[in-house]
Amino acid sequence: MSRAAVRFEAVVIGVSAGGLDALRAILPRLPENFGVPVIVVQHQAPGTNDFFARFLDQRCAVRVKEAEEKEAAAPGTVYLAPADYHLLIEDDRTFSLTLENRVRFARPSIDVLFESAADVYGPRLIGIILTGANDDGSHGLAAVKRQGGLTVVQDPGAAEVDTMPRAALAAASIDYVLPLAAIGPFLANLDKNGAFHSDGLVNSIRI
């Protein structure tokens, strides 16, 4: 099936070391009425408040906030996992938080979010792994692919820290490897129904 025919329902992003700059490069490119929710796990130290979400919110057209337990994931909104909780998505598109043990040293864990999102959204999910100094997210991205979703990895050659993108590349079949600067425009190409405007643009940046 052509990618242009898929109506995506959500984007999940996993990022660790170097995340502030990476998210600052991507999220401000999204229009206010962006057609799907964007759900982000950025590794943070326990006890961190929602400074990160507020900082990004001031710089983005889309709304950026911390995901709350039982909140429904809405289009045009970027949700960040709160520090020290795993973030999961339920079948009814509401968020759950858990204090399950750290997964590969991380809470929130990218794998946990991605695996639950893959269950819920199946082929209508875009999973993106960005800069980071560990291998969290690689199992999760493989789960996104297994359920037929679209997988994107930041080009490790240009990533601030390349461990996480490289681990993802090794673990999952990847649809697009993109430089950081191309990821924002790539996502912005999704229309308000969650479909890519045209195969043309998507294919033109395929590596």
Partner 1 sequence: MGKPAEDDKELEDLEVALLLEGVFRRYGYDFRDYSLAHLRRRLRHRLQSSYLPDLGAMLHRVLSDRNFFELLLRDLSISVTEMFRDPGVYQRLRTEVVPRLMTWPFVKIWHAGCATGEEVYSMAILLHEEGLLERCQIYATDFNQLALKGAKEGIYSLDQVRLFTGNYLKGGGRESFSDYYTADDDAVILKSWLKKRIVFADHNLVTDSVFSEVQMVVCRNVLIYFNRDLQQRIFRTFYESLCPGGILVLGTKESLQLSGMAELFEPVCPDEKIYKKVPQ
Asked if 30 and 6 count as a contact pair (C-beta separation under 8 A), the reply is no
**Would you say 90 or 185 has its CB closer to partner 1?**
90
The residues that bridge with 11 in the sheet, in sequence order, are 38, 126
* Catalytic position from the list 86, 109, 135, 136: 136
**Alpha carbon 91 to chain centroid, angstroms:** 18
Give the angle 161-134-75 at the CA atoms, nearest 5°: 80
Q: Does 116 bind partner 1 (CB under 8 A)?
A: yes
**Would you say 76 or 123 has its CB closer to partner 1?**
123
Closest distance to partner 1 from the beta carbon of 147 (Å): 5
- Classify residue 147 by its DSSP letter: T
Q: Does 160 bind partner 1 (CB under 8 A)?
A: no
Residue 49 Ramachandran class (φ > 0 left, ψ -120 to 50 alpha, else beta): beta
Binds partner 1 (CB under 8 A): choice among 88, 167, 174, 180 = 88
Q: Does 112 bind partner 1 (CB under 8 A)?
A: yes
Residue 175 bears catalytic tag: no
Q: Which of residues 45-74 bind partner 1 (CB under 8 A)?
A: 68-71
Closest distance to partner 1 from the beta carbon of 17 (Å): 23
Question: Would you call the peptide bond into 31 cis, given omega within 30 degrees of 0 as the criterion?
Answer: no
Q: Does 3 bind partner 1 (CB under 8 A)?
A: no
- Classify residue 92 by its DSSP letter: T
Closest distance to partner 1 from the beta carbon of 134 (Å): 20
Residues 6+ apart with CB under 8 A from 142: 171, 172
Q: Does 42 bind partner 1 (CB under 8 A)?
A: no
Residue 136 bears catalytic tag: yes
* Catalytic position from the list 43, 109, 162, 175: 43
Q: Does 148 bind partner 1 (CB under 8 A)?
A: yes
Cα distances (Å, whole numbers) of residue 104 to 48, 107, 136, 141, 181: 20, 9, 7, 15, 29
Binds partner 1 (CB under 8 A): choice among 21, 33, 59, 100 = 100
Instruction: Copy the structure tokens of residue 39.
Output: 């759900």
Closest distance to partner 1 from the beta carbon of 23 (Å): 21
Applying CB under 8 A, which residues contact partner 1? Answer: 1, 68-71, 82, 85, 88-91, 96-101, 112, 115-116, 119-120, 122-123, 147-148
